[in-house]
Structure 1
Amino acid sequence: MRSTAVRLVRQRRPTRNESPLLPPLVLYRSILRAHVHKLPKDLRSLGDHYVKDEFKAHKKIDNPLHIVAFLTQWQDYLRQIDHGSWLHNKLKHEDLEKMSPDQIGQLYELMKAAKRVDEDGEHTE
């Protein structure tokens, strides 16, 4: 994903309302840094683990549409973390309908893990 993603980031022109896409490594580091400063300690390990797994799973993606979509979604996530809006956001019905069965299953597993963190006060694998 790295060389193709960096090339796509450089070529893509943002519209008026959006900021340019960050390169994958910069975005990854920015998200982890935002977790340190913006997330409660008990959610930080869950968030870090999830981000690391997602970036690792998408490392070998070479489809330009998938790369741009992946980076765009994670950049939106970073923006939400930075502005604190993640606390009050809910998943839109339209976004849920766009998800594959695998993505819905992954979202369900994430929800269960988050509930365990909330109940236990810490993340356990």
Structure 2
Amino acid sequence: AQRTAVFNLYRNILRQHQRKLPFDQKALADAYVKKEFRDHRKAAPEYVTGFMKAWDEYLVIIKQQAEPGKDLSEQEIQQLSPEQKLQLERLKEEATRNKQSNE
């Protein structure tokens, strides 16, 4: 049951990327989501609940947005692990690089 829920969430996120994001952002976002879900495929059950909750929240946000993008609050940034902060910084750099190459 949990495996099906994870797969459905993954599929729904990719669908929303298809509907909401420009092509270059979709490619980057899809790659990130695929990596995250692949990396957490064999995560301990106690981590899966938090993982699912975070991605559910992301899905709600992306569904509600006409234009993609939401700044993280200072509190949200403080709650990120060092690894998450590093990933966020890499994602930001990649997005900036892609934007500059398209201009």
Q: Distance in 2 between matches of 1:84 and 1:29?
A: 18
Q: Distance in 2 between matches of 1:54 and 1:74?
A: 10
For residues 14-53 of structure 1, what are the structure 2 equivalents within 5 Å?
23-53=5-35
Q: What is the number of equivalent residue pairs in this alignment?
A: 102
Q: CA deviation at 1:82?
A: 1.0
Deviations 1:72-113 (A, max 9, x none): 111111111111166352111111111221111111001001
- Equivalent position to 1:58, from 40, 49, 53: 40
For residues 49-88 of structure 1, what are the structure 2 equivalents within 5 Å?
49-64=31-46, 66-84=47-65, 87-88=68-69
Please report the RMSD computed on the Cα atoms of aligned residues, expressed in angstroms. Answer: 1.9
Structure with a larger share of its residues in helix:
2
Q: Distance in 1 between matches of 2:69 and 2:79?
A: 21
Deviations 1:14-43 (A, max 9, x none): xxxxxxxx8100000011111111111121
Q: Compute the TM-score of the two structures, normalised by the length of structure 1.
A: 0.74
- The 8 Å contact of residues 14 and 30 in structure 2, kept in 1 or not, is answered as yes
Structure whose CA Rg is larger: 1
Percent identity reads: 34
Q: Compute the TM-score of the two structures, normalised by the length of structure 2.
A: 0.89
Change (3 A) 1:97 1:104: same
Change (3 A) 1:73 1:94: same
- The 8 Å contact of residues 80 and 86 in structure 1, kept in 2 or not, is answered as no
Read off the aligned partner of 1:44 and give its amino acid letter.
K
What runs of 5+ residues in structure 1 fail to find an aligned partner?
Answer: 8-21
Change (3 A) 1:48 1:55: same
